[in-house]
Amino acid sequence: MALVSGYKFDILISYAHRDNKPLITGHNGWVVELHLALEQRFDELFGKQLKIWRDPYLDGTHVLEKELADRVTSSAILLSILSPNYLQSEWCQKERKAFCLSAEKRGGLLVGNRSRLVKVIKTHLSRELHPAEMQDSIGFEFCHVEPSSKRQVDFRPETSPAEFIQTVESLAYGIQELIVQFQPTPETEPSPPQKTIYLAETSPDLEDERERIKSELKQHGYCILPPDEGLPPKATAPELEEKVRGYLGRSRMSVNMIGAFYGTIPAMAKGRSLVRMQHELALERSSDPEFVHLIWMPPGLTPQEDEQEKFVELLRSGAAAQHRIDLLDSNTRLEDLKTEIHNRLNPPKRASDSQSPGSEGSESKLIYLVCDKLDYDEVHSIEDCLYNRGFEVRLPLFGADDSQFIQFHQDSLQLCDAVLAYCGNANEIWLQLKRQELVDKIRVQERERQKPMLAKGFYLSAPSTSGKERFRTHEGIVIKNYGPFDPDSLNPFLDRIR
């Protein structure tokens, strides 16, 4: 029985059968592995069984048009596996168009603020090649392109099981949120304002930063407006103003990210860009003393258009100071913006309000950040990021004699709630020894620990080596980031702790 009432299947998987060929003889195909892993992870995470249908045959033409129509109309969600093969498959296009037509007859593609079209990106495709109905959705990428070599690395269960499972987990959470939207919610119970944030749409140069902020806030349980499908692209300025005022009225905070470009100018907007309109509407809402209006500009911002230069100057001038807004400018990084949002919505408790030291939940979780002496300076950004997110961070005791160093290390492994090993400049022998210690030894020590080890992780940074590329373990989270430090790269590890 499907979880979504009124449908025979929760999910119909649409894919090109050439994408289901196994990489290694004797193994399941990629789509089969995704299907099985998604069912298993959903059951493990939520205690519920998904009902999924996919065409198991090698030739889709065996399914008659009547059968196709029955499967499509009986499915609540269409999960499309995007690849060059998918784009060339006439059968996949038929399935998608039939699903969209059926959805329009049953209330549309959107359920709440989410689309019933879910895209899984098996092979990297530039966004303009994605089907038109899926252009605006983020999707779930089972691949990444290495910045240095521009080589694509696919997440396969045979070669990169950790990355494959991590992405399956994100997909499972996304589907869970979509299924929840199918359930009727009484209008008397909207998302509470203190948990709702208006994250204003921005100019193209800051879209990636906006998505990172959005992902971070969602993981902390906030409702983000506008919903995932965004503001209507063809709406006039009066229509947009009405829509945005409604969203702001339900929100506790507005976050406006100002980039180098002026942005789209809607019809009837009298020369005002959408970015500027949203700011001005947030100013109206700022008369409420409980409402927070944050404006962020990236460090070193240089406007690239005359109109944007005037707008930025207005924001930086004293004209903005008379309103209840906070301008985060100059050296405020994206990570600092995230911290500021959390602090404004959840101010740190005063000492007089805090719990007594022995009470449950009064202590921050302790993360032991293990590294070689060669990487001691390199982990500073990770240390700051973890601390700003509310964790206590402990580093190895370099400078002590051998006995003190070893005792401190063993005590830290016993006391910490989670351990993260960082390998950048350290050699692969160090990395393998840490895997042996953190996986094998801790497994034995856990019987003696007074509290469970919540997470074990390995953060592999530049330089990229063949040993790092081949490094994997089922016993912990493996994060590979050979470029500049990205705070969002820590999310899979922190999710385990939470």
Task: Check whether 277 has a pLDDT greater than 50.
Answer: yes
Q: Does domain 9-182 have CATH number 3.40.50.10140?
A: yes
Q: Write phi, then psi, for 179 (nearest 5 degrees).
A: -65, -35
Rounded Cα distance between 50 and 52, Å, is: 6
pLDDT at 446: 53
The answer, as to whether pTM is greater than 0.75, is no
Left, alpha or beta for 221 (phi > 0: left; psi -120 to 50: alpha)? left
CB 191 within 8 A of CB 218: no
Helices (H), 135-254: 161-182, 207-219, 237-249
- Break the chain into its structural domains and give their ranges: 9-182, 193-347, 363-497
Q: Which of 57-66, 354-363, 389-398, 438-447 has the highest mean pLDDT?
A: 389-398
pLDDT at 79: 95
3-class SS string, 223-246: EEECCCCCCCCCCCHHHHHHHHHH
CB 488 within 8 A of CB 479: no
Task: Check whether 402 has a pLDDT greater than 80.
Answer: yes
pLDDT at 189: 42
Q: Which of 1-5, 315-319, 374-378, 403-407 has the highest mean pLDDT?
A: 374-378
Rounded Cα distance between 184 and 304, Å, is: 46
* Local structure of residue 178 (DSSP, 8 states): H
pLDDT at 357: 32
Selected from 3.40.605.10, 3.40.1350.10, 3.60.20.10, 3.40.50.10140, the CATH number assigned to the domain covering 193-347 reads 3.40.50.10140
pLDDT confidence tier of residue 57, bands split at 50, 70 and 90: low
Left, alpha or beta for 191 (phi > 0: left; psi -120 to 50: alpha)? beta
pLDDT at 403: 84
pLDDT confidence tier of residue 498, bands split at 50, 70 and 90: confident
Please list the residues that pair with 12 across neighbouring strands.
53, 78
Cα dihedral value 15, 19, 22, 23, nearest 10: -150
pLDDT at 188: 37
- Listed range (176-190, 317-331, 465-479) with the worst mean pLDDT: 317-331
> CB neighbours (10 Å) of residue 185?
11
pLDDT digits (tens, 9 = 90+) for 455-494: 899 999 999 998 898 888 877 889 999 988 888 889 889 8
pLDDT confidence tier of residue 349, bands split at 50, 70 and 90: very low
Q: What percent of the chain has pLDDT over 70?
A: 86
As its CATH architecture, domain 363-497 has: 3-Layer(aba) Sandwich (3.40)
Q: Do domains 9-182 and 363-497 have the same CATH topology?
A: yes
